[in-house]
Structure 1
Amino acid sequence: MTAEFGHFALVLALMVATLQMVIPLIGAARGWRGWMAFADSAAQVQFVLIAGAFAMLMYAFITSDFSLEVVTANSHSAKPMLYKVSGTWGNHEGSLLLWVMILALFGAMVAWFGGALPDALRARTLAVQAAIGVAFLTFLLFTSNPFARLDVIPADGRDLNPLLQDPGLAFHPPFLYLGYVGLSMTFSFAIAALIEGRVDAAWARWVRPWALMAWIMLTIGIALGSWWAYYELGWGGWWFWDPVENASFMPWLLSAALLHSAIVVEKRDTLKSWTILLAILAFSFSLIGTFIVRSGVLTSVHAFATDPTRGLFVLGILFVAIGGSLTLYALRAERMRATTAFALVSRESGLVLNNVLLAVSCAVVFIGTMWPLIAEAVTGEKVSVGPPFFNITFTPFMIALAMVLPVGAMLPWKRAKLGRTMKPLWGMLAASVALGALVWTLQTGGRMLAPVGAALATWVILGVVADLAQKAGGWRARPATARARLAGLPRSEWGKAVAHAGLGVLIFGIAGLTAWEQQDIRTLAVGDSFDLGGYTFTLDGVEAGRGPNYSTNMATVTVRRNGGVVAVLNPEKRFYPVQRMPTTEAGIQSRPLRDLYVSLGDQQPDGTWAMWSWIKPFANWIWFGAFMMAAGGGLSLSDRRYRVGAARARGTQAVPAQ
């Protein structure tokens, strides 16, 4: 009966969401407080119902209830418990239910923590959020019912995709969805503001925490996915510009732009139209990502569905959400005029340039991702767009962003003098260029990527140091005075510093790994050795074994340097009999300055084994930098201004748009 309870809860949630979509809008238009207050109660009830349905589905996976079609298709009684739990969202139906539950969670959070919001704005925001919920609950119930039962119950299930049976993939989707769906909240705030016809500094302060939360979760989710691809797929890479990777990266770029744009609205009451547009576009690209993952129009190692009917349904949601919101934006944008002006050289201009670079970067990724689909529709020919295209077209914009970041962060508001701003940065610039030249010299020629990456990373990090030093009173300030000033900085300033420094670490990790990694591919008999990058790799043996739901060939590879043992690695080649699918488990020794990475291939007819080996310098700096950025976002989110929120001005009421 648990499945029937879950299905009934979803039907009730759809009914509640429909009421939440209509009643608060009428109440806000008429000024009826009771009708507006209905949004809070409905949002909480909707979340409880969907969370209950999700719990019922998880229970079915844990207990291996193979009467449910989705459990049979994506689970197995011998699967470890962690993957029975994560199997709940390791498929199209369950992941969509998780998507809808998080959507309802964000609506409930506005009801719980949005007491400082004006009644009309909160009611309209929750009504828009409910409209999104109605669309996806309808999609879930009519095309992707997770509680559909089988007429004939099988003895066991068909198991979860082996690639998803990994701790990294157990946590990667929930974080990504918290980011994807979190952008629905900024979208709802934007549409509510357009309906109301008013955007001001208070609105920007209310929106920023939601945008920041979504950006943090997207950062963590993307980093976890990249890390999983690095150690699980066995190909030695960490990013492949896969369509599904791009589907999460595009909203991340736009949410980063939204964060910086909202700062200008909050501080200077300008860029209001642009900030509203970014809020719309960021969530629109989340919906585009949903379409890519669930329609089957583009192939990927981690796409969920290939059913064109579902793709058409998502396309319909896309058309209504994006078309409707942009139409409303066109009608209302005239009311979002700026009330202040700023000079060409100013903090505002720096943030505008930041936004332009991020938005154009997103456009480049979008074109590259969708071009195979567009080209096939127009010409009938199948084309592919791979990493070389993205590396050539995307990288220059990121280089430009890194170059302007330290300067833009230190420019004063409204009007600035570039020479005065650069004064504390000249030394940092000289040190960065010197380090780049040193790297060029030490690598005795070769690719420019490493020197440029080292110089840019140093420039970004030293720019953070210069900014903090300036806020502490300059380099000549007394230590006690400097400590007091730094201790008095708001957490948002420290968050900005940590996030920007994390970007510098990330840049250096990418440049160092890409430029200096060393690779060897060969076949080896047991006992054979070879040299790579000053290390000696020896294949000591390959033993057959069994896991809970797979068989494995596990190699023992000893790595020596100067005669001493540095590492003993155990790469595996696994085979999952239920899915008839092999996977590769790399053997990796991670150190702060380099990774030793070995991947085992198939046994050859002559008895030798194929083996891929890499020395990967600074690999961990990539993920450390990404998590530094997320930690910086967390510091900013903990700032008192965003925990308490902006108080409503006395005696003011939201005026319904005429």
Structure 2
Amino acid sequence: MIFPELGEYALILALCLSVLLTVVPMVGATRGNALWMGFARPLSKGMFLFTLFSFLCLGWAFLDNDFSVVYVANNSNTALPWYYRLSAVWGGHEGSLLLWALILSGWTVAVAIKSRDLPPDIIARVLAVMGLISVGFYLFILFTSSPFERYLPGFPQEGADLNPLLQDFGLIVHPPMLYMGYVGFAVSFAFAIAALLSGRLDAAWARWSRPWTSVAWAFLTLGIALGSWWAYYELGWGGWWFWDPVENASLMPWLVGTALMHSLAVTEKRGVFKSWTVLLAIFTFSLSLLGTFLVRSGVLTSVHAFASDPERGLFILIMLAIVIGGSLLLYALRAGQMKSESSFGLMSRESMLLVNNVLLVVVCAMVLLGTIYPLIVDALGLGKLSVGPPYFNALFNPLMAILMLAMGVGAVSRWKQTSLSMMVQQLWLPGVLALVLGAGSAWLYAGELKPWVVLGLVLSWWVMLAGLRDLYNRLRHRREKLKGLSKQTRSYYGMVLAHVGVAVTVVGVSLVSVYTEQRDLRMQPGDTLSFRDYTFVFEGSKHVEGPNFTSDQGQIRVLHKGEPYGFMKPEKRLYTARGNVMTEAAIDPGFTRDLYVALGEPLENGAWAVRMQYKPYVRWLWLGGLLMTAGGLLAASDPRYRKRLRPAAALADA
């Protein structure tokens, strides 16, 4: 089969087109040459088509079990189901990089197609910057990480199989969604650099950038939520966030990206925060690249990390230095042009959004320090150091509590200036109701008031009630309330939905962190365990044959308040190709609780070590993530962003 060679040639052609995309439109924009600027769109489309063809060639190699390709042989097996062979395309380092390049080229062509109303010089510069980023990744793939390398002259007749941890539906959807977010922030970065190069740091560039930033943020939110869900049910521990360095690598650009979304809104509507917004765009994409370095450089160990060598890490480190160093140098040269067009008072929506931004950046800095400090200590030969949940929780939780408090205040504040008396008038009722409802719901659930639970529930009610107060303010002067609801913009409803998502997630975090119940015990056939309203009867285990594994499957009968409820069947699997033993938990999901059962090690006389957990409101974590994702996509779909905007124009208040 010649498809691997065709895939390699297609990547080389994509590299050539990306070099042309970097140079020709940028020179055309500098010289005012309309013909050269016009090459930006066809070059973007060509780059995407060749990258897509290359990706399809790799996919075909997996589906065809072409073990003459080293990457296929290392990550697939003839016994692997076809859908896992397809997801194995991005199950390793080389293929996931090709997926990254495909998504980057996809974002590039999307900008080329959907930005026809932009001035030619702006779109030429934006696409040229994205072409430059693509050059770096194509070079990285072709020189250090080609997925098309062949075994010559001989090759294995059977593959080594995909990592059993990745043989799961979560792998099919989690990496593409996460990469869509990571790479999507390249668009925000490109718009910021194009604005610096052109000197057009006005409301227009912020408006052009907002929908792309919202979509990228929504995908990254969904990717993080899917990753948390995957870790929860696949790793067998029952946890949903472990402060793993690779988890932190996705959280950091999400935090700064959240700040960027809010800052863009202020820049667009009020003409302030220009320099701050540009910096946030630079830092958000830089943190995406930093996450790539951490995952692929070999400097850390994680169940999520890709095994790689120092050469690859050095390549990414050089890319990171060029991106950060070059963009910050350009920022320093252009900083004098970035002047605010208006002022604002201490008690204003601008001030609250600034507090929001600063808190998000501080939280990100805290996570970054905890993630890289052990690496720095190790590199300096000062020993091994581990930074775990106690550090992150001690700093993250109080800062996020302050952030949620500011979210409520910002919801009812006005642009430019809000009087203290008006603020008190607007917030006293939501504040009192939040205290009553938060403490009351905590007491109704557990019959006790634990400080962190009460705080989490109070803050969740606070965010939702303050949002309702803002909606009431928008409708109270309208005679027809339903018509008033229809007059609100999609971006406004997207913001409301995302804030509700934050509140729902905090409810889930508060309750599952404090009220999870766990039992670790030895069970042999006939043994029972009762806790909460459930009784678990262990009826032994049976042998099960899978397509590429064998399994010992536990048989656990469940009763609810003495009545038959159902069966739970946790597994301990042996994947035959690699000899890996994996735990497959049995989960009975519910809106207000999960029952979670995992098998440990087999013991004598048919007994097993068994872990059983009752996890209240754990689903609310991911429900909140879905609501935030929907909010981001809804905001990005606002038709106002598709209208032509003159440089000095300002949007109506949303």
Shorter-chain TM-score category? over 0.9
Are 1:462 and 2:462 counterparts?
no
Are 1:235 and 2:225 counterparts?
no
Q: Deviations over 1:144-167 (max 9, x none)?
A: 011111111211100000111100
Q: Deviations over 1:604-634 (max 9, x none)?
A: 2454201111111101111001100111111
Which runs of no fewer than 5 residues in structure 1 stay unpaired? Answer: 651-658
- The one-letter code sitting in structure 2 at the alignment partner of 1:448 is P
- The one-letter code sitting in structure 2 at the alignment partner of 1:100 is A
Preserved contact between residue 64 and residue 75 of structure 1 (Cα < 8 Å): yes
Residues of 1 paired with 2:397 and 2:112: CA distance? 42
Are 1:452 and 2:450 counterparts?
no
Preserved contact between residue 117 and residue 648 of structure 1 (Cα < 8 Å): no
Q: Deviations over 1:74-127 (max 9, x none)?
A: 001111111011000111111000101111111111211111111111111111
Give runs of ≥4 in structure 1 deviating > 4 Å: 439-442
Q: 1:653 maps to what in 2?
A: none
Preserved contact between residue 440 and residue 451 of structure 1 (Cα < 8 Å): yes
- The one-letter code sitting in structure 1 at the alignment partner of 2:608 is W
Q: How does 1:491-570 map to 2 (within 5 A)?
A: 491-570=490-569
Residues of 2 paired with 1:85 and 1:283: CA distance? 29
Q: Deviations over 1:287-317 (max 9, x none)?
A: 0000011011011101112311101111111
Preserved contact between residue 402 and residue 456 of structure 1 (Cα < 8 Å): yes
Q: Deviations over 1:158-211 (max 9, x none)?
A: 000011110011100000000000001111111111111221111001001111
Q: Deviations over 1:567-597 (max 9, x none)?
A: 3211111111112111111111111111111
Are 1:484 and 2:483 counterparts?
yes
Q: 1:10 maps to what in 2?
A: 11
Q: Deviations over 1:419-458 (max 9, x none)?
A: 3134233222112111333355454557422111111111
Q: Deviations over 1:316-355 (max 9, x none)?
A: 1111111111111111111111121111111111110110
Q: 1:39 maps to what in 2?
A: 40
For 2:71, what is the secondary structure of its paired residue?
helix
Task: Please say which of residues 532-541 and 64-73 is displaced more in the overlay.
Answer: 532-541
For 2:541, what is the secondary structure of its paired residue?
strand
Residues of 2 paired with 1:201 and 1:604: CA distance? 68
Q: 1:346 maps to what in 2?
A: 348
Q: 1:418 to 1:606 in 2, by over 3 A?
A: farther
Preserved contact between residue 129 and residue 188 of structure 1 (Cα < 8 Å): yes
What's the CA shift for 1:5?
A: 0.8
Are 1:210 and 2:212 counterparts?
yes
Residues of 1 paired with 2:490 and 2:420: CA distance? 27
- The one-letter code sitting in structure 2 at the alignment partner of 1:50 is T
TM-score, normalised to structure 1, is: 0.96
- The one-letter code sitting in structure 1 at the alignment partner of 2:70 is E
Residues of 1 paired with 2:72 and 2:262: CA distance? 43
Task: Please say which of residues 276-285 and 197-206 is displaced more in the overlay.
Answer: 197-206
Are 1:244 and 2:246 counterparts?
yes
Preserved contact between residue 506 and residue 625 of structure 1 (Cα < 8 Å): yes
Residues of 1 paired with 2:576 and 2:588: CA distance? 29
Preserved contact between residue 205 and residue 645 of structure 1 (Cα < 8 Å): no
What's the CA shift for 1:258?
A: 0.4
Q: Deviations over 1:499-540 (max 9, x none)?
A: 111111110011011111111001111110112223221111
Q: 2:652 maps to what in 1?
A: none
What's the CA shift for 1:484?
A: 1.3
Task: Please say which of residues 419-428 and 5-14 is displaced more in the overlay.
Answer: 419-428
Q: 2:403 maps to what in 1?
A: 401
Preserved contact between residue 50 and residue 101 of structure 1 (Cα < 8 Å): yes
Q: 1:127 maps to what in 2?
A: 128
Residues of 1 paired with 2:136 and 2:16: CA distance? 12
For 1:595, what is the secondary structure of its paired residue?
strand
Q: Deviations over 1:226-268 (max 9, x none)?
A: 0011111110100001111111110111111000000011000
Residues of 2 paired with 1:422 and 1:395: CA distance? 26
- The one-letter code sitting in structure 2 at the alignment partner of 1:560 is L
Aligned length: 645
For 1:544, what is the secondary structure of its paired residue?
strand
Residues of 2 paired with 1:163 and 1:426: CA distance? 50
Residues of 2 paired with 1:613 and 1:466: CA distance? 43
Q: 2:651 maps to what in 1?
A: none
- The one-letter code sitting in structure 1 at the alignment partner of 2:377 is A
Q: 1:413 maps to what in 2?
A: 415
2:263 to 261, 268, 282: 261
TM-score, normalised to structure 2, is: 0.97
- The one-letter code sitting in structure 2 at the alignment partner of 1:598 is V
- The one-letter code sitting in structure 2 at the alignment partner of 1:57 is L
Preserved contact between residue 76 and residue 88 of structure 2 (Cα < 8 Å): yes
Preserved contact between residue 412 and residue 426 of structure 2 (Cα < 8 Å): no
Residues of 2 paired with 1:441 and 1:89: CA distance? 47
What's the CA shift for 1:556?
A: 1.4
- The one-letter code sitting in structure 2 at the alignment partner of 1:437 is A
Preserved contact between residue 190 and residue 280 of structure 1 (Cα < 8 Å): yes
Preserved contact between residue 456 and residue 504 of structure 1 (Cα < 8 Å): yes
- The one-letter code sitting in structure 1 at the alignment partner of 2:143 is F
Preserved contact between residue 206 and residue 645 of structure 1 (Cα < 8 Å): no
Are 1:593 and 2:592 counterparts?
yes
Q: How does 1:426-445 map to 2 (within 5 A)?
A: 426-439=428-441, 441-442=443-444, 443-445=446-448
Task: Please say which of residues 270-279 and 564-573 is displaced more in the overlay.
Answer: 564-573
- The one-letter code sitting in structure 2 at the alignment partner of 1:35 is W
For 1:103, what is the secondary structure of its paired residue?
helix
Residues of 2 paired with 1:440 and 1:473: CA distance? 32
Residues of 2 paired with 1:374 and 1:521: CA distance? 38
- The one-letter code sitting in structure 2 at the alignment partner of 1:639 is D
- The one-letter code sitting in structure 1 at the alignment partner of 2:386 is S
What's the CA shift for 1:377?
A: 2.1
Q: 1:656 maps to what in 2?
A: none
For 1:601, what is the secondary structure of its paired residue?
strand
Task: Please say which of residues 371-380 and 104-113 is displaced more in the overlay.
Answer: 371-380
Residues of 1 paired with 2:578 and 2:210: CA distance? 45
For 2:147, what is the secondary structure of its paired residue?
coil
Residues of 1 paired with 2:20 and 2:179: CA distance? 25
Preserved contact between residue 118 and residue 648 of structure 1 (Cα < 8 Å): no
Q: 1:646 maps to what in 2?
A: 644
Task: Please say which of residues 301-310 and 621-630 is displaced more in the overlay.
Answer: 301-310
- The one-letter code sitting in structure 1 at the alignment partner of 2:264 is A
For 1:566, what is the secondary structure of its paired residue?
strand
Preserved contact between residue 212 and residue 636 of structure 2 (Cα < 8 Å): no
Residues of 2 paired with 1:16 and 1:648: CA distance? 32
Q: Deviations over 1:5-27 (max 9, x none)?
A: 11001111111111111111111
- The one-letter code sitting in structure 2 at the alignment partner of 1:156 is E
What's the CA shift for 1:277?
A: 0.3
Preserved contact between residue 575 and residue 581 of structure 1 (Cα < 8 Å): yes
- The one-letter code sitting in structure 2 at the alignment partner of 1:621 is W
Residues of 2 paired with 1:645 and 1:382: CA distance? 55
Preserved contact between residue 76 and residue 159 of structure 2 (Cα < 8 Å): yes
Residues of 1 paired with 2:183 and 2:424: CA distance? 40
- The one-letter code sitting in structure 2 at the alignment partner of 1:616 is K
> Sequence identity, in percent?
47
Q: 1:654 maps to what in 2?
A: none
